[in-house]
Structure 1
Amino acid sequence: MSLPLSGVPSSSPAKKTSPNAERRSAIFHPTIWTDYFLKYASDSNSMSFEGVVEERSDRLKGEVRKMLTSAIDKPSQKLNLIDQIQRLGLAYHFESEIVEQLEQIHRSYFEFHCGNNDDNLHTIALLFRLLRQQGYNVSCEIFNRFKDSEGNFSKSVFANVQGLLSLFEACHLSYCSDDILNDALTFTITHLESIDKRKVSPNLEKQVSHALNHPIRKGLPRLEARHYIQFYQEEPSHNEVLLSLAKLDFNSLQGQHQKELGNLTRWWKDLDIKREFPFTRDRLAELYVWMLGVHFEPDYEIARGIVTKMMVIISILDDIYDVYGTLEELEIFTEAIERWDVDAIEGLPECMQVIYKIIFELYDEIGYELTRKGRSYRLFYAKEAMKIQVRAYLVEAKWFHKSHIPTMEEYMPIALTTIGNQMAFVASFLGMRDIVTKDTFDLLLSSNHKIVKASKVIGRLMNDIAGHKFEQERGHVASSVECFMKQYKVTEEEAKKEIRKLVADAWKDINEELRHPTAVPMVVLMRIVNLAGAIHAVYEDETDHYVNAGTNFKEFVTCLLVNPCQCDGFEEQV
């Protein structure tokens, strides 16, 4: 199906823009990947070898399924097994089994809670985290047993590094009212940062160091699975079946993701980005990895393709509004998107006409697929999300051109849109199956839904802290850091401190919205959670690694899309 275009002539002729308009430059560094992933666009693996790998993988999955469903006397064993399966990146193969096991554990929660496991901090913290991840409203008072008569954590847990690490991870599932977990987070960080390295194994020390910077709740799922595979392999008591399956699965998925990025690279080259948009960020591989953080599973290939292409366009539009366009041009361009009229771009600079046509071609492509699958209603939401996006971009452009520093109350509603999370949600759900309904899209376009707003707050504020210095140097609209400093007359570090608190509160809002029963299926809500977690990786150490893609993001891409796991002689071919 072709996208219906308006045949109504523009109400006012587009004004010709000056070819000599002064253009700013952000001086983004060029891509470090160029055509590297093009080689994966065609399938080089033999079907017979893939069959061997699939057969071995199915056998191993059968063995893991038996482990999950078999009777175990000690619930702690089942909890540790589920945790290992999840952290190795295998949980998507065993969703129904894990749900069933956690339901059983939750039903016996009171007995377990009051039983003989009271003194095992690791087990209690793991029970708490796994159940809260699943949406069960477990009280954090479960940890009071580890406190003394004065309300402080007992000295007996100070040396329990594994228990402290598990408690640290559990703290990231806190709600707004969980003061116990707020205290526990500070307590665990203090003690984990000062552990006696002579009294713990080298592997546990490495896990602690990694966790303090990358909590389980906050990260790119596949990247964290890759790290945990290495940690798990070094555990003397590791299960060889789990480890072998994790490596095979990682390499199998990596092969699929490489092919997808290869095809996207071909599409990207056809756009001729370097020539058409020399001022923009050339970050296809990085965007693809970012979107892998939303959904990596094999079934979401179409969704990944749509959201990556859409976010490529959003990245270019962001740079057009921030760097390239004059205010007059941007007003005309925004009006053209609002009216969805391909004829309305006459008189705009060539790059704006090109991106406008790219948008229409992509929407045609998406519209055809949606109609073919009986989901044509979704295209309306995709168009509305794009209109909302450019409308907000224009407001920020006006602020910049007027040298206006808004109040936080004025800034946040606009900035929560320009960060692009809402567009990413809508785009990523376009290619999902019928579990995503019209009500889901209505929720995503609502500015008041708590989990959606919280994810946008995390994205916007972390981006602002990481990028505000670079953006102010190149000339950019004020960020929340500048807005907060001016409004409350505080220093930059004081502003950042308060903004970090807002990010922490947003995570608590997300955790609360995942409690049973949820208005939207958990599998859908987890895409919003995953994007929030991926944002922490992108802006780690308060650095914008998307703009400065030669450091952390290079490692992300290399780990996920270049280097396979070493696994029993299969690594050269899988």
Structure 2
Amino acid sequence: MRGEDILDEAIAFARPLLESLAMQSSPHLAKHINDALSMPFHRGLPRVEARKFIYFYEEEESHNETLLKFAKLDYNRVQLLHKQELGVVSRWWKELDLAKGLPYVRDRIAEGFFQSAGVQFEPNFALSRILLTKCIQILALVDDTYDSYVVFLGVEKLAGVKEFKWLETNPKLVEASKFFGRLLNDMVARKDEEKEGHCLAGNCYMKEYGVSKEKAMEELRKMCDNAWKDMNEESMRPTAVPMPLITSIVNLARMMEVVFQYDDGYTIASSLKDHVTLMFVEPIPED
């Protein structure tokens, strides 16, 4: 959270020590350390982080065999459910057959479902994932057609009145999550987006403060870190809305962290290929 300078100092002190330790450690521990340094556990998607930790824990000599077996079983059963849901939305998208009339539309149903499962992965949110994936695809269609023109109709019907009224007040948690996603997307923007005249945060910062692109990116990363501090603080603050809604908003930021970690993972299909494969296709060996 903001104001906890001692934690920032602790990170600055520990990072070089952990980097040095990784170079001297066993391969599985080194990977665990490097993964944590590149993507802090709290900022990663729960399902992605769970699978990585299962692999790490299995290599530990002191692991509990029963606990490990249960973790694998749980992961694989939830994966099977997700796979069935992906089949449902894939058939829906195929039946629409929009590619014939709208060849420019991005065919990213697997990536869209990955985002939905990232926001709410629990089995009891199956219908929510299916509906959210459909919304993502339709919004992508509108975005591709009208260049960022989107309209929300009847959103209040998808949530309770209390929750929708809360969202209408633009709570700080939601604003921080939106700001975070906007910055991440701009930081990995493709060159063709710049040529098309999109107003990217990095370019705006460079022009306003007269700094280099490297300096602008450094400052944007600091803004992203501050946005996370705001989300951490707001997610722990007592509210009248249910915790699953709060968690979903935080998970949305986590999903964006993964999708835009290196490039535009939604537009560039290959970027999320490994995540999609591990999350929905390949189960964890249980033997």
From 117, 121, 133, give the equivalent of 1:296: 121
How many angstroms does 1:545 deviate by? 1.5
How many angstroms does 1:544 deviate by? 1.1
Indicate if the aligned counterparts of 1:273 and 1:282 stay in contact, CA closer than 8 A: no
From 151, 160, 179, give the equivalent of 1:437: 160
Indicate if the aligned counterparts of 2:22 and 2:30 stay in contact, CA closer than 8 A: no
AA partner of residue 293 (structure 1): G
How many angstroms does 1:226 deviate by? 1.1
Matching of residue 486 in structure 1 with residue 207 in structure 2: yes
AA partner of residue 9 (structure 2): D
Q: Which runs of 5+ in 2 are unaligned?
A: none
How many angstroms does 1:179 deviate by? 0.3
How many angstroms does 1:523 deviate by? 2.4
TM-score if structure 2 supplies the norm length? 0.93
The 1-side partners of 2:228 and 2:276 are apart by 26
Q: Deviations over 1:310-345 (max 9, x none)?
A: 11111111111229xxxxxx7xxx8xx69x7xxxxx
Indicate if the aligned counterparts of 2:112 and 2:133 stay in contact, CA closer than 8 A: yes
The 2-side partners of 1:501 and 1:484 are apart by 13
Indicate if the aligned counterparts of 1:229 and 1:247 stay in contact, CA closer than 8 A: yes
Equivalent position of 1:495 in the other structure:
216
RMSD (Å) for aligned C-alpha atoms: 2.0
Equivalences for 1:421-570 in 2 at 5 Å?
430=158, 437-447=160-170, 449-473=171-195, 475-541=196-262, 543-550=263-270, 552-568=271-287
The 2-side partners of 1:508 and 1:380 are apart by 28
Inter-CA distance 457–492: structure 2 relative to 1 (3 Å threshold):
same
Indicate if the aligned counterparts of 2:185 and 2:264 stay in contact, CA closer than 8 A: yes
Equivalent position of 2:68 in the other structure:
243
The 2-side partners of 1:523 and 1:238 are apart by 31
Indicate if the aligned counterparts of 1:458 and 1:532 stay in contact, CA closer than 8 A: yes
Equivalences for 1:256-271 in 2 at 5 Å?
256-271=81-96
The 2-side partners of 1:218 and 1:438 are apart by 30
Inter-CA distance 566–380: structure 2 relative to 1 (3 Å threshold):
closer
AA partner of residue 156 (structure 2): Y
Equivalences for 1:161-180 in 2 at 5 Å?
175-180=1-6
Q: Secondary structure at the match of 1:546?
A: coil
Indicate if the aligned counterparts of 1:219 and 1:535 stay in contact, CA closer than 8 A: no
Q: Deviations over 1:242-287 (max 9, x none)?
A: 1111111111111111111111111001111211221121111011
The 2-side partners of 1:254 and 1:476 are apart by 41
Q: Which runs of 5+ in 1 are unaligned?
A: 1-174, 324-329, 341-378, 383-429, 431-435, 569-574
Matching of residue 381 in structure 1 with residue 156 in structure 2: yes
The 1-side partners of 2:100 and 2:55 are apart by 42
Equivalent position of 2:99 in the other structure:
274
Indicate if the aligned counterparts of 1:468 and 1:479 stay in contact, CA closer than 8 A: no
Q: Deviations over 1:68-93 (max 9, x none)?
A: xxxxxxxxxxxxxxxxxxxxxxxxxx
Inter-CA distance 445–181: structure 2 relative to 1 (3 Å threshold):
same
The 2-side partners of 1:276 and 1:313 are apart by 15
AA partner of residue 147 (structure 2): D
Equivalences for 1:118-133 in 2 at 5 Å?
none
Q: Deviations over 1:373-406 (max 9, x none)?
A: xxxxxx4526xxxxxxxxxxxxxxxxxxxxxxxx
Task: Point out which structure has higher relative CO (alpha carbons under 8 A, 6+ apart).
Answer: 2
How many angstroms does 1:515 deviate by? 2.5
Indicate if the aligned counterparts of 1:322 and 1:476 stay in contact, CA closer than 8 A: no
Indicate if the aligned counterparts of 2:259 and 2:266 stay in contact, CA closer than 8 A: yes
AA partner of residue 222 (structure 2): K
Inter-CA distance 227–492: structure 2 relative to 1 (3 Å threshold):
same
Q: Rg bigger for which structure?
A: 1
Deviates more, 1:493-502 or 1:232-241: 493-502
The 1-side partners of 2:32 and 2:221 are apart by 25
The 2-side partners of 1:488 and 1:273 are apart by 44
In proportion to residue count, which structure has more helix? 2
TM-score if structure 1 supplies the norm length? 0.48
Indicate if the aligned counterparts of 2:22 and 2:31 stay in contact, CA closer than 8 A: no
Q: Deviations over 1:181-232 (max 9, x none)?
A: 111111122221222633x333322210111122111122111111111101
Equivalences for 1:40-439 in 2 at 5 Å?
175-195=1-21, 197-198=23-24, 200-322=25-147, 379-381=154-156, 430=158, 437-439=160-162
Inter-CA distance 265–476: structure 2 relative to 1 (3 Å threshold):
farther
The 1-side partners of 2:161 and 2:22 are apart by 54
AA partner of residue 261 (structure 1): L
Equivalences for 1:3-22 in 2 at 5 Å?
none
The 2-side partners of 1:464 and 1:248 are apart by 39
How many angstroms does 1:487 deviate by? 2.0
AA partner of residue 52 (structure 2): H
Equivalent position of 1:415 in the other structure:
none
Inter-CA distance 238–380: structure 2 relative to 1 (3 Å threshold):
closer
The 1-side partners of 2:130 and 2:162 are apart by 23
The 1-side partners of 2:26 and 2:178 are apart by 39
The 2-side partners of 1:197 and 1:467 are apart by 33
Indicate if the aligned counterparts of 2:90 and 2:109 stay in contact, CA closer than 8 A: yes
Q: Deviations over 1:483-520 (max 9, x none)?
A: 22222222222222211111111100011112243333
AA partner of residue 7 (structure 2): L
How many angstroms does 1:527 deviate by? 0.7
The 1-side partners of 2:212 and 2:173 are apart by 30
Q: Deviations over 1:10-69 (max 9, x none)?
A: xxxxxxxxxxxxxxxxxxxxxxxxxxxxxxxxxxxxxxxxxxxxxxxxxxxxxxxxxxxx
Inter-CA distance 196–246: structure 2 relative to 1 (3 Å threshold):
closer
